[in-house]
Amino acid sequence: MKESDYYIVTGINKTMIAERLARGEGSILIGKPGSHSFRNSVVDAFIDLFDHPTINARGYLDNERGSKKVGGEDWQTGWENDRAYNLRRIPKPTGDPATDVARTFFEGLDVGGHYEFKIGFQPVGEQTFLAPGETTLFVPRGRSRRPALVHLLTAFTGRINACPRAEKTSDFRFTDSHVQEIVRYAMADLRTGKVFKRNVQAGMDADTMLG
């Protein structure tokens, strides 16, 4: 049987997916409403990418993290091939000069002048998954993550487009072209790591500046 580009993880196939993850045979992507979304409508979205997770005995998605000493401090390891993607409205200035300057340290993709797509550090270790409103995809090792990213971004931009007018800040609507633009940006970073490394450093610089 031909291997699919990705599988939607459900309670029915969860055990099979867990066995494949334990053998290192794939990665997990989880799409979920963003932090500014409402219970019944979505205005932003997160996508978590875990390169080599497992499902532990408690049924949690487990991303093993290690540590090493850097400059006398403990430095978490094991996240270097993971990603945290954030699709959100372009934020307005906060009015706090330091915070607004710190935001400029990060690179993001402007999407239609109304939204931005940011690639960042994924700090999560163990976590629940298959929560209501989330979509979890298993991507077999060796298969491109492009189709899975297209699936998640199409689903969540569609939900954003369907958000009630009262909860929107503009009449902007995502198109297939926007989705493809975001996917090209994310895939280029997965090949080179340039945006991810820049934003990890930006996070450390921002933490230092803001104390």
pLDDT at 163 over 70: yes
Percent of the chain surpassing pLDDT 90: 59
Is residue 165 a part of any domain in this protein? yes
pLDDT at 63 over 90: no
Locate 42 and state its tokens: 């979505």
Question: Quick one: pLDDT at residue 102?
Answer: 75
pLDDT at 172 over 80: yes
Question: Quick one: pLDDT at residue 58?
Answer: 85
- Residue range of the domain that includes 72: 7-210
The average pLDDT across 113-142 equals 90
Is residue 148 a part of any domain in this protein? yes
Half-sphere exposure of 168 (CA within 13 A, CB side): 14
Is residue 1 a part of any domain in this protein? no
Is residue 18 a part of any domain in this protein? yes
pLDDT at 184 over 70: yes
Domain count within the chain:
1
Is residue 154 a part of any domain in this protein? yes
Mean pLDDT of the chain: 89
Is residue 27 a part of any domain in this protein? yes
Would you list the DSSP string of 152-173?
HHHHHHHHHHTS-GGG-SS---
Q: Is 122 left (phi over 0), alpha (psi -120 to 50) or beta?
A: beta
pLDDT at 36 over 90: no
Is residue 2 a part of any domain in this protein? no
Q: What is the pLDDT of residues 66-120, one digit of tens each?
A: 777 666 667 677 788 999 999 999 988 877 777 778 778 889 999 999 999 999 9
Confidence of residue 211 (pLDDT cuts 50, 70, 90): low
Is residue 122 a part of any domain in this protein? yes
pLDDT at 180 over 90: yes
Percent of the chain surpassing pLDDT 70: 94
CB atoms within 10 A of CB 192: 10
Report d(CA 189, CA 137) in Å as an integer.
20
Confidence of residue 165 (pLDDT cuts 50, 70, 90): confident
Confidence of residue 1 (pLDDT cuts 50, 70, 90): low
Confidence of residue 182 (pLDDT cuts 50, 70, 90): very high
Report d(CA 50, CA 29) in Å as an integer.
6
